[in-house]
A = this chain, B = another copy of it.
């Protein structure tokens, strides 16, 4: 394992030290060192937007703290939920008295810790409502959508919720918009190589040379099938075959597409894949009105991608177009 760290048990602390220095114009540490907040949070007159999750997914989660996006983030260990206390402290860091929208992904640890944090918040009179992202199609059948994991669709949920809050929306309005955002997203990942947590020192799952795992999760959760590696075009076909019928996405719709590398995939390869995704969507009469291609939500050094397609309406389009500034995403006004 040739990697860059000091004490393998302190990678998150060491990363945060660098992150807070480099991005001191944008973010600051809260009193709880596992909470990163917008440098001006709580922002007066605005609903607070909070998220949180395990580390190792950078620029998610902390990279989406910024103007028009997230106000505070609870930072977990690598691939582990932040504590309930950290979620609670993130609520406190974000709350300006108009309530907090906690927009996070559907994982057991996060669900449990957010629930506990909400009880703590209730005692202090902080109003918190949640939206739980479940955009990952392969992780459960359509009939059990509430069991699906959240993957890169979370970014579009934060973008929409963050914009709605920045526009002056009430807590109910932010929650409704964020819920609509994630309900309009469908995602799938393909893994081409495993990833290694520094403190473990070897991959905790395996992807063989010449094979790829379709439907893999952000932490190596098993996919729906392991198949021989194919061309980029066949990969795009395979992903869209799963994603498109699920909403379903149909002719005449407008969509946003987010294609994220999982960490070790060369940038050029994301664009090779995107070219085919665009071709298929066009052939189906589906119009892409916004593209995001890059390393938006990674899994350490995993090779592979996630594809997210989001159905748009006027409100979602306006929210995606609303200016934001953060490490992970900047949209200019």
Interface residues of A (CB under 8 A from B): 1-6, 11-12, 14-19, 21-22, 55-56, 58-59, 192-193, 207, 209-212, 229, 231-233, 235, 263-275, 278, 291, 293, 295, 298, 300-301, 303, 305, 325, 330, 332
Q: What residues on B are CB-neighbors of A274 within 8 Å?
A: 18, 21-22
B301-A4 in contact (CB<8A)? no
Per assembly, the copies of the chain total 2
Q: Which of B2, B268, B298, B303 interacts with A11 by CB under 8 Å? A: B268
B273-A2 in contact (CB<8A)? no
B268-A1 in contact (CB<8A)? no
Least CB distance, A61 to chain B, in whole angstroms: 12
Q: What residues on B are CB-neighbors of A212 within 8 Å?
A: 2
Least CB distance, A242 to chain B, in whole angstroms: 17
User: How far, in angstroms, from A5 to B2 measured CA to CA in the complex?
Assistant: 26
Q: What residues on B are CB-neighbors of A293 within 8 Å?
A: 18, 22
Q: What residues on B are CB-neighbors of A267 within 8 Å?
A: 58-59, 263, 295, 298
Q: Which of B193, B231, B264 interacts with A5 by CB under 8 Å? A: B231
B271-A18 in contact (CB<8A)? yes
User: How far, in angstroms, from A111 to B264 measured CA to CA in the complex?
Assistant: 31
B303-A271 in contact (CB<8A)? no
Q: Which of B17, B19, B264 interacts with A301 by CB under 8 Å? A: B264
Q: What residues on B are CB-neighbors of A269 within 8 Å?
A: 3-5, 11, 15
Least CB distance, A239 to chain B, in whole angstroms: 11
Q: Taking chain A's interface residues, is the majority helix, strand, or loop, or is none over half, making it mixed?
A: mixed
Q: What residues on B are CB-neighbors of A298 within 8 Å?
A: 266-267
Which B-chain residue is minimally distant from A67 (CB atoms)? B332
User: How far, in angstroms, from A305 to B18 measured CA to CA in the complex?
Assistant: 15
A192-B272 in contact (CB<8A)? no
Q: What residues on B are CB-neighbors of A291 within 8 Å?
A: 21-22
Least CB distance, A324 to chain B, in whole angstroms: 11
Q: What residues on B are CB-neighbors of A55 within 8 Å?
A: 268
User: How far, in angstroms, from A291 to B332 measured CA to CA in the complex?
Assistant: 21
Which B-chain residue is minimally distant from A305 (CB atoms)? B4
User: How far, in angstroms, from A283 to B332 measured CA to CA in the complex?
Assistant: 37
A275-B14 in contact (CB<8A)? yes
Least CB distance, A28 to chain B, in whole angstroms: 15
Least CB distance, A36 to chain B, in whole angstroms: 12
Q: What residues on B are CB-neighbors of A332 within 8 Å?
A: 325, 330, 332
